[in-house]
A and B are shown apart, each in its own frame.
Chain A
Amino acid sequence: MTSRYLVLRLLDVAVTMLAMSVIVFVAVRVLPADPVLLLAGEYARPGELEAIRAELGLDRPIPVQYVRWLKGALVGNLGTSIRTQRPVSEVFLQRVPATIELASMALVLGITIGLPLGVMGAVRRNSWVDRLVRVSAVTMHSTPTFFLGLLLILLFAVVLGWLPAFGYGGWRNVILPSLTLSTFVIALVARIGRASMLEVLNTDYVRTANAKGLPSCVVIWKHALRNALIPVVTVVGLQFGNLIGGTIVTETVFAWPGIGSAAYQAILERDYPIIQAIVLYVALGVACVNLLVDFLYAILQPQVRFD
């Protein structure tokens, strides 16, 4: 892995982020909805509107607003929420832990359930196990997140009464939301894992390992799985953006106080500074994860060259 490649890729991320920030900034302002109208209410006099606009700096030309905002953003000042007057960074820091908790639980669940499913499907190819794995993967993939969430609430909270239907707090609260979000990962990991495992099982080195009499579980879980993991890592990484999209819906269904529900609320209230910050940070997250995936790819598969 050359350092030149590293620098180029980092530069790439920086350029992408800059482009993204311009797009987001302009897009949010071009939209016809006016936060000042929402803020002032229906019965505001014309003078009041101008006063609020000037106070928020929304009367300046868009490029001026952008530069002012970018300067602040670079030193960590993302402005204040138009609605609550709280600093955006404060809102952000308050909401991030819940989303990280949810997303990481979903990832862990997804991989620990999905990977064995995929491997079993590949090892017992075309058997009923394989068919079951394939059918359940495509079914999970096709079920909308919010519908699954509501079904789980119906079953575990309403009918059985074992778990709380929504809210945030104890470990019992995290089970249903993370299960809901994880099905997307389970389906993905099982599908890709199965396909790549099938490929690996056909290679010479696996045949050699089998021929020299190694127990098949060692061959599968130690020798073959290592190479089969490469596409799994790549695809899961590339789907990170979709996972974040999934958190918006999941957090809304379960009233989970994370970034997703904050974004949803901010959008409905036209709270520009918060929307901008969330979109940019999510985009930054996606870009970083993609970068990480590229490097992981190189580590897992030494013959990949960067050029």
Chain B
Amino acid sequence: MSPRARGIPWGPLIVLVILGAFAAAPALIPLDPFSQHISDRLLPPGSQGSEGQFYLLGSDALGRDMLARLAHGARLSLLVGSSAVLGSGTIGFTLGILSGYVGGRVDRILMRVVDLQLAFPFMILAIGVLAAVGPSVLVVIILFIFARWPAFARIVRAATLEVKEREFVSAARALGARNLRILFLHVAPSCIGPIVVLASFEMASIIVSEASLGFLGVGIPPPTPTWGNMLSGGRAYLRTAWWVVVLPGLAISIVALTANLVGDALRDYLDPKTTGARRRRGDG
């Protein structure tokens, strides 16, 4: 499949660069998301603080700098999103390729587990576990890995089944290649495309879900700033200080939108014949 000459998706790329800079900012310039200035409560964006500081994006109900909190929130969102995608992708890849290649009873049992998990209402599970165990970054990441690997397993299994019967695989087998060699050299590479595409869609949905948990008050707790718990805390000031709610919400939307657009672009790039047939199942 030769990559078609489609335009480079500049929009998403630019946002990615800005986001990277944003997330790296706290390490480079002093941005303090914790210190409170009671005299500078709920200042609108672009205000001058009582001690001469400049609040580019305003301050929250405790007089903390919104810009600093948003930047720290970005790091956390990206950390949770990328670790969860990496973890669930790895598990899903391993089990999916196993399921598709070995087939038989292993396949049936694994796919039953996948169906069971995809039918389970994740929000309820997540709220329950977090309320009981107590929220932490690690618990949130593990939850998402646990919840999302079936999506990867399903798509990798489908790709494996598709490629397993092709001539070049039969040829390799006829030449005496072992199963492991066939798996790594011939089957695995053709799963990479679907995985990368799914990974960017999953990244978007995990970041949004993580923010939802934060909003419901069961995610990573304050004072650690996450976009979700900033929104949750700002909800009470919706009538008086819109920026406390709107800015973190916009941040989540923009990041999710970027990840989705990157996914779309990758799909067009890797699979020129984008059809409904492939997406009917498994496009979760």
Specify which chain B residues have a CB less than 8 angstroms from the CB of A147 in the assembled complex: 211, 231, 245, 249, 252-253
- Across the interface, do A267 and B245 meet the contact criterion of CB distance under 8 Å? no
Q: Can you show 7 pairs from A to B with CB atoms below 8 A apart?
A: A20-B116, A20-B119, A144-B249, A153-B238, A231-B280, A241-B121, A248-B216
Bound Cα distance A231, B282 (Å): 12
Given contacts A195-B279, A231-B279, 5 further A-B contacts (CB under 8 A): A139-B257, A150-B238, A231-B280, A249-B123, A252-B216
Bound Cα distance A175, B60 (Å): 30
Known: A147-B231, A154-B238. A192 touches B132 (CB 8 A): no
- Across the interface, do B276 and A267 meet the contact criterion of CB distance under 8 Å? no
- Across the interface, do B261 and A248 meet the contact criterion of CB distance under 8 Å? no
- Across the interface, do A138 and B257 meet the contact criterion of CB distance under 8 Å? yes
A99: CB under 8 A from chain B? no
Specify which chain A residues have a CB less than 8 angstroms from the CB of B211 in the assembled complex: 144, 146-147
Bound Cα distance A239, B205 (Å): 13
The smallest beta-carbon distance between A305 and chain B, in angstroms, is 16
Q: 8 Å CB contacts to A: which residues of B182-227?
A: 204, 208, 211-212, 215-216, 218
Specify which chain A residues have a CB less than 8 angstroms from the CB of B121 in the assembled complex: 241, 244-245, 279, 282-283, 286
A150's partner among B128, B208, B231 (CB-CB below 8 A) is: B231
Known: A144-B212, A238-B281. A283 touches B129 (CB 8 A): no
Q: Mark B127-156, 1 if CB is under 8 A from A, else 0.
A: 111011100000000000000000000000
- Across the interface, do B249 and A283 meet the contact criterion of CB distance under 8 Å? no
Q: 8 Å CB contacts to B: which residues of A252-296?
A: 252, 263-264, 267-268, 270, 275, 278-279, 282-283, 286-287, 290
Bound Cα distance A153, B253 (Å): 17
Identify the 4 closest CB pairs spanning chains A and B, nearest first: A147-B249, A31-B132, A142-B256, A245-B123
- Across the interface, do B116 and A267 meet the contact criterion of CB distance under 8 Å? no
Interface of B is mostly: helix
A112: CB under 8 A from chain B? no
A40: CB under 8 A from chain B? no
Bound Cα distance A235, B239 (Å): 38
A282's partner among B124, B218, B283 (CB-CB below 8 A) is: B124
- Across the interface, do B120 and A283 meet the contact criterion of CB distance under 8 Å? yes
| Contact size range, B | 35 or more
Bound Cα distance A110, B41 (Å): 40
Bound Cα distance A198, B274 (Å): 10
Bound Cα distance A244, B242 (Å): 29
- Across the interface, do A28 and B128 meet the contact criterion of CB distance under 8 Å? yes
Contacts from B to A (Cβ < 8 Å): 115-116, 118-125, 127-129, 131-133, 204, 208, 211-212, 215-216, 218, 231, 235, 238-239, 242, 245-246, 249, 252-253, 256-257, 259-261, 264, 274-277, 279-281, 283-284
Contacts from A to B (Cβ < 8 Å): 16, 19-20, 27-28, 31-33, 138-139, 141-147, 150-151, 153-154, 158, 192, 195-196, 198-199, 231, 234-235, 238-239, 241, 244-245, 248-249, 252, 263-264, 267-268, 270, 275, 278-279, 282-283, 286-287, 290
Known: A16-B119, A32-B133, A238-B281. A146 touches B253 (CB 8 A): no
Bound Cα distance A258, B89 (Å): 35
Specify which chain B residues have a CB less than 8 angstroms from the CB of A31 in the assembled complex: 128-129, 132-133
Interface centre among A16, A27, A142, A143 (most CB of B within 10 A): A142
- Across the interface, do A150 and B245 meet the contact criterion of CB distance under 8 Å? yes
- Across the interface, do A275 and B128 meet the contact criterion of CB distance under 8 Å? yes
- Across the interface, do A267 and B257 meet the contact criterion of CB distance under 8 Å? no
Bound Cα distance A151, B253 (Å): 12
B124's partner among A138, A150, A267 (CB-CB below 8 A) is: A267
Closest B-chain residue to A145, C-beta based? Answer: B212
Closest B-chain residue to A263, C-beta based? Answer: B124
- Across the interface, do B216 and A144 meet the contact criterion of CB distance under 8 Å? no
Bound Cα distance A145, B123 (Å): 13
Specify which chain A residues have a CB less than 8 angstroms from the CB of B246 in the assembled complex: 151, 154
Bound Cα distance A139, B116 (Å): 30
Specify which chain B residues have a CB less than 8 angstroms from the CB of A151 in the assembled complex: 246, 249
